[in-house]
Amino acid sequence: MNILITGIHGFVGSNLVLSLKDRHVLYGLDIVTPEKEGVARTYSWEELEGLGGFDAIVHLAGKAHDTKNEALAETYFTINTGLTQKVFDYFVKSSAKKFIFFSSVKAAADFVVGDKLTEEVIPTPKGPYGESKIAAENYILERLKVKNEELRMQGKKVYILRPCMIHGPGNKGNLNLLFNVVKKGIPWPLGDFENRRSFTSVDNLCYVVNGLIGKDVSSGIYHMADDETVSTNELIRVMCEVMRKKTRIWHMNKELVKDCAGLGTLLHLPLNLERLRKLTENYVVSNEKIKRALGIERMPVRAVDGLRKTIESFIDFKF
């Protein structure tokens, strides 16, 4: 197949190229257009309307979640919503049969109510990142309502993927920040908080994209996560194991920590109640729907094995 991938030079795009290049002809669409091994050609966004001949489009390009909250809200909507509208409109007019949009679980919920986050949740995003992603999703869904019969007759399929935290070699996200804290030997003081969190190995993600492209899967919204959850304490243990360091986890009294965080909120200190919630909350994402759609019982990579591979890639990399 001829596949167009937007944001092809990013972390996920580069991994997708490695996963798809032996079986498909790949083309890129990005703000930069250097040559890339495994990619026939990368086009600029200005060239999009004149392009043709693609069988599938994978829309990755977007503004990543800024954990420092320094990005302007308008930037998220210009990129995450605006570019999605542009490329989806192109897909509707094109001969391409499949469209895969990378949204985020943050489009569904900033925190999980209940045991697991499923596709049936009523979206309640918080902040411009999640809000811009749900706006992009809603645009696609509204266009599908209008064009549903026409697109069905043309055999077109549309997939909205909502992955939770994606990681893998070459990733520059929150895992790097925690890795550097552990690497310096700084103790983790929140050992009394035993949370459960879902992650997405980029290898599992590439496996799912391969499945959506190659199999007859129904259009829809699909959450993406590894099968197993991992606590922050477990994650730190894996990091220490890979680095061959002694695990330093302090089990400070929960109520004392909460009191300190409350004081931090009043005094605008780094550790406040909101940050404590983010560090210790459960965020479990169900992947049952996408596994049923692909006809599989398990993802190919175990959560801990994927995390270990990511952490090993950090060791010799200078951040």
Q: What is the reported pLDDT for 71?
A: 64
CA angle 290, 294, 300 (to 5 degrees): 85
Match 């703000």 to its residue by tokens: 31
pLDDT tens per residue, range 94-111 = 999 999 999 999 999 999
pLDDT tens per residue, range 39-76 = 999 999 999 999 999 999 999 999 987 655 556 889 99
Is it the case that residue 196 has pLDDT exceeding 60?
yes
Average pLDDT of the chain is: 93
Q: What is the reported pLDDT for 34?
A: 87
Neighbours of 22 (CB within 10 A): 7
**171 versus 237: which is more confidently predicted?**
237
Q: What is the reported pLDDT for 70?
A: 57
Match 């200078």 to its residue by tokens: 318
Q: What is the reported pLDDT for 319?
A: 44
Is it the case that residue 118 has pLDDT exceeding 60?
yes
- CATH 3.40.50.1000 holds for 2-168+198-226+285-299: no
Is it the case that residue 318 has pLDDT exceeding 70?
no
What would the mean pLDDT of 134-158 be, rounded to a whole number?
93
Residue 181 contacts residue 235 (beta carbons within 8 Å): no
Q: What is the reported pLDDT for 164?
A: 96
**315 versus 23: which is more confidently predicted?**
23
What would the mean pLDDT of 243-258 be, rounded to a whole number?
93
Residue 127 contacts residue 110 (beta carbons within 8 Å): yes
Highest-confidence segment of 160-174, 197-211, 258-272: 197-211
d(CA 185, CA 75): 37
Is it the case that residue 124 has pLDDT exceeding 70?
yes
